[in-house]
Amino acid sequence: GHPEIFPLVFTTKTQEIFNCRVDEDVTEENCFKLIKKEDIIQDLKTRATISDFHPVKKVVLEYPGEELLVVFDAKFQYGQNFYFVASEEAKENLLKPPETAEEKEEEEEEEEEENGEETLEVHPYKPPVHKPWISLGSEKEVEEESVKDTVTKIKYMISRVRRKFGAPITFADKNASNVKDSYVECTSYQDKTFSIKMLEKDVGIQMVPKVREASTQTKWAYPKNAATQYFPRQLSNEEKEESQSSEKLKEFLTSVHLRMEIALQQNEIMNAFFDDWKALAEDESSSGGKPDVYLKAYQSFTDLHHLRDRTISCVCWHPTIYGIIAASARKRLSYEEQVNLCDKSLLHQSVILFWSFFDPIHPQLILECPEDIYCFQFSPSDPNIIAGGCINGQVVLWDISQHEEKLQNAKTVADGVKETAVNMVNASVLNILQYIYPSLTQVQQSSTEPPLVRYYAVSSIEYSHKKPVTDIHWLPDYFEDDRVGATSENRAEICVQLVTCSPDSSVLFWDIPATKLPEQPSSEKVKEKKVFYMPPDVPDTFKHLDLCWKPLTKINLCESDTNREYSPIRISLRELHYHYKTSEKVQSVNTLEVPAKESPYREMSTPSSKNLKGLENISTDFSVGTEVSENNRLLMKMLIQDIQKTEQLNNRKHTQKYAIHTETINTLQRSPFFKDIILSIGGRNFAIWKEGVTNGPILQSSCSAGRYTAGQWSLTRPGVFFIGRDDGNIDIWDLLKKTHEISHFQNISESMITFISPWIASAKQHFLAVSDDLGVLHVLEICQTLSDPSRNEHANVLDYFEREVKYLKYCEQEFQEHQEFQ
């Protein structure tokens, strides 16, 4: 710095005193002002501490010169607006250099304002002053970083005698074998003096888990079959009683029954899962365009050998085996002969033929009959027992259990695969031969020949009917009918009773003693109260019955008052719960409805049962359709009391008789869906009856062109039934479509239809067996529209019947009123 420079602040007063007012006396250019020392001292004395020179008072007093220089510091170079130069030398320097430019103008030391001629104030050039270097410690660093030789360098000087340079070379030979391995070399070796010992090494380490192999051996347990048997826990009766009366149960029921009732009511009100879409489709199909209704011809069976000049009188499907159908043949008689049937001894062999779907040419089985069979039935409990009614009034029994297997394997027979290996070769040969040499078949005992089964039992002639047995039925097996399904049977599930009727105005009840029932003791017979003597003890076959078989009961259909005899043609039983032997629970199947006569309703307990439980809840009414000998065909109902009270046997109430049909009733059948609806067909018209409605039939058809000869309800649709005519047509009636005429008809054959039998073989296959007068058995497949019921068909048909009943009542009322009026 400049130690002789003292910055000062000059107040305005001071500036006035010393005439160095800013911008007036002193300007930036003329910034020097010389002030006399005495003036300053005086000022100091007068103003003492407030004088501006006070801080520099000492300097002023010691100032050697007379005049002091004050410089106006416009740029505040030294911090104040003025500065005071304290030494003469500095003053001179300051004044002179600026004055050197103005030397010519000012050389005086007078207080003169400097001219502004010199615009620039240039600092005088000072050559750099050599100052001693102050070390700040950097030489140490330099020293550290510099490389110095720690060791003195070794110097080597190698010399060689000069004369050796360029001297000639002499080579010498050495034998290679002298040297080991014939190889000379100068091997390198490791000189330890030159190796560097490594004192420090970087090594990486990794941790790995220890791996160890180990093994174990387990015990092998071999599989063993184990079984557990359990039965459900049940409370004893006391416990049940106790818990039933407990308070907790009451509380529980009170709290729960409300929920339950709500849910039940919900279900009653509407069906939440009703599929409208589906229902729409079904309605459309039934109401919309004409659906395709047809009976597709499936197969037809005929046998020239056995059925020449014969007609089929009755057709029955085998209840359990699929595709087996049996047909009974009898001699074709003219109408007159038919009416005046008497026992004719026929030379030709009467047979029942068994056909299988899989073999349309050969009958599977032939049942030999003593006489022509008018009607026959499979036993519902054991399809191997067949009962038939002959044209001479006898009842015949067959047992085909030996051939059951053959029938079941009918398919394999048709394919040519024989059961016995012996006949393996002969089989196909025989098939061919059978046609070439018909006589061969009678001689050969091969399996192609349908086996001839002889009847096992024939009833005694004197106790049978006097006229042909026109209808035969197995009586159903009685049981306690629960809502869910019968589980408590009171006896062995065997149908052992038959009922037959014949135009000799009698209805006979037959009892078949159990042949295969091991548990049925003969003591049961004692309980039976019969009018006639019962067949003897339990045998092994029916053979003992042969010609000794007598009926259980006989009912004479005579009107006691008018002494008129009625000739029953058909019987229709009310309760027809047949159980075909199946492994699962017993199912009720409707019987194959052979037109039957209506017999009175009665309660019956089958005597052959083990426990004679009271069966009051089951009614065994049956209706009888008759042909009265005096050309009055009537329909009759009778009421018969409990058969056990035989004294009341003749106490019958005749309820109603109706004369509707012009000719013999050939069909009397209950609807499979409605227990109290009966279809009767005879002559040229048919009628539908409802039990309990005594005014007349609820539906009666008009006279048709042809005679109705056969008829059956459809098994699947409640409002459909089939009628066969004498011109070979099948008429299909659909009560929901039209009730005044047929909905569809189809021609099956040229001759008269003698029998119709529908059958459900499987869910998709519904068959209709139609037999005609020529001895041909046609099997037709019922199309879907005819076999699948529409949604509410049952309800609709029921509705229809009720409407008709109401209408009848109404008519009756009207009639009565009219009568009264008159």
Partner 1 sequence: AEVEETLKRIQAHKGVIATIVINAEGIPIRTTLDNSTTVQYAGLLHQLTMKARSTVRDIDPQNDLTFLRIRSKKHEIMVAPDKEYLLIVIQNPCE
Q: Which is nearer to partner 1, 256 or 417 (CB)?
A: 256
How far apart CA 64 and CA 135 sit, in angstroms, is 39
Q: Which is nearer to partner 1, 235 or 425 (CB)?
A: 235
Task: Sheet with 82-85: list strands edge to edge.
Answer: 5-8, 82-85, 67-72, 32-36
Residue 250 in the binding site for partner 1 (CB under 8 A): yes
Task: Check: CB of residue 676 under 8 Å from CB of residue 692.
Answer: yes
Stretch of 141-149, 252-260, 290-298, 320-328 lying at the interface with partner 1 (CB under 8 A): 252-260
Task: Check: CB of residue 71 under 8 Å from CB of residue 33.
Answer: yes
> How big, in percent rounded to 5, are the helix, strand and coil portions of the chain?
25, 25, 55
How far apart CA 62 and CA 711 sit, in angstroms, is 168
In DSSP terms, which residues pair with 669 in a beta bridge? 679
Q: Helix or strand or coil: residue 597?
A: coil
Distance of CA 34 to the CA centre of its chain: 127
How many other C-beta atoms can be found within 10 angstroms of the C-beta atom of residue 283?
13
H/E segment holding residue 283: helix 276-287
Compute the least distance from the CB of residue 237 to partner 1, in Å.
11
Q: Which is nearer to partner 1, 242 or 405 (CB)?
A: 242
* Binding residue for partner 1, selected from 189, 194, 222, 274, defined by CB under 8 A: 274
Footprint of partner 1 on residues 573-592 (CB under 8 A)? none
- Which candidate, 674, 805, 670, 793, places its Cα nearest to that of 736? 793
Stretch of 235-243, 315-323, 428-436, 802-810 lying at the interface with partner 1 (CB under 8 A): 235-243
Q: Which is nearer to partner 1, 30 or 796 (CB)?
A: 796
Residue 234 in the binding site for partner 1 (CB under 8 A): yes
* Binding residue for partner 1, selected from 248, 290, 740, 818, defined by CB under 8 A: 248
Stretch of 160-168, 249-257, 427-435, 732-740 lying at the interface with partner 1 (CB under 8 A): 249-257
* Binding residue for partner 1, selected from 184, 263, 339, 422, defined by CB under 8 A: 263
Q: Which two tokens stand for residue 515?
A: 């042949």
Residue 187 in the binding site for partner 1 (CB under 8 A): no
Task: Check: CB of residue 682 under 8 Å from CB of residue 708.
Answer: yes
How far apart CA 413 and CA 419 sit, in angstroms, is 8
* Binding residue for partner 1, selected from 9, 48, 61, 260, defined by CB under 8 A: 260
Residue 482 in the binding site for partner 1 (CB under 8 A): yes
How far apart CA 20 and CA 26 sit, in angstroms, is 5
Stretch of 17-25, 250-258, 399-407, 667-675 lying at the interface with partner 1 (CB under 8 A): 250-258
Q: Which is nearer to partner 1, 140 or 240 (CB)?
A: 240
* Binding residue for partner 1, selected from 255, 617, 702, 762, defined by CB under 8 A: 255
H/E segment holding residue 781: strand 777-782
* Binding residue for partner 1, selected from 2, 140, 257, 653, defined by CB under 8 A: 257
Compute the least distance from the CB of residue 710 to partner 1, in Å.
36
Compute the least distance from the CB of residue 235 to partner 1, in Å.
5
* Binding residue for partner 1, selected from 48, 50, 235, 417, defined by CB under 8 A: 235
Q: Which is nearer to partner 1, 16 or 261 (CB)?
A: 261
Compute the least distance from the CB of residue 763 to partner 1, in Å.
15
Q: Helix or strand or coil: residue 65?
A: coil
Q: Which two tokens stand for residue 688?
A: 């539908």
Q: Which two tokens stand for residue 751?
A: 């001759």
How far apart CA 363 and CA 312 sit, in angstroms, is 14
Task: Sheet with 324-331: list strands edge to edge.
Answer: 310-317, 324-331, 350-356, 365-369, 452-453
How far apart CA 70 and CA 60 sit, in angstroms, is 12
How far apart CA 193 and CA 693 sit, in angstroms, is 141
Burial code (b: 16+ CB inside 10 Å, e: under 16) for 377-399 equals bbbbbbbbbbbbbbbbbbbbbbb
Give the phi and the psi of residue 168 in degrees, each rounded to 5.
Answer: -65, 155
In DSSP terms, which residues pair with 330 in a beta bridge? 311
Residue 261 in the binding site for partner 1 (CB under 8 A): yes
Q: Which is nearer to partner 1, 215 or 236 (CB)?
A: 236
Footprint of partner 1 on residues 361-390 (CB under 8 A)? none
Residue 271 in the binding site for partner 1 (CB under 8 A): yes
Compute the least distance from the CB of residue 788 to partner 1, in Å.
17
* Binding residue for partner 1, selected from 245, 287, 563, 819, defined by CB under 8 A: 245
Stretch of 416-424, 480-488, 512-520, 763-771 lying at the interface with partner 1 (CB under 8 A): 480-488
In DSSP terms, which residues pair with 311 in a beta bridge? 330
Taken as a whole, the chain contains a residue count of 822
Residue 229 in the binding site for partner 1 (CB under 8 A): no
How far apart CA 730 and CA 716 sit, in angstroms, is 17
* Binding residue for partner 1, selected from 104, 180, 259, 290, defined by CB under 8 A: 259
Q: Which is nearer to partner 1, 275 or 814 (CB)?
A: 275
Stretch of 157-165, 244-252, 393-401, 423-431 lying at the interface with partner 1 (CB under 8 A): 244-252
- Which candidate, 381, 422, 378, places its Cα nearest to that of 400? 378
Q: Which is nearer to partner 1, 254 or 617 (CB)?
A: 254
Residue 488 in the binding site for partner 1 (CB under 8 A): yes
Q: Under rule CB under 8 A, how many of the chain's residues touch partner 1?
A: 34
Maximum C-alpha span of the chain: 196
* Binding residue for partner 1, selected from 177, 237, 244, 611, defined by CB under 8 A: 244
Q: Which residues contact 19 (CB under 8 A, 6 or more apart)?
A: 25, 33
Residue 487 in the binding site for partner 1 (CB under 8 A): yes
Residue 815 in the binding site for partner 1 (CB under 8 A): no
Compute the least distance from the CB of residue 620 to partner 1, in Å.
24
Residue 178 in the binding site for partner 1 (CB under 8 A): no
Q: Interface residues with partner 1 (CB under 8 A)?
A: 232-235, 240, 243-245, 248-250, 252-257, 259-261, 263-265, 267-268, 270-271, 273-274, 482-484, 487-488
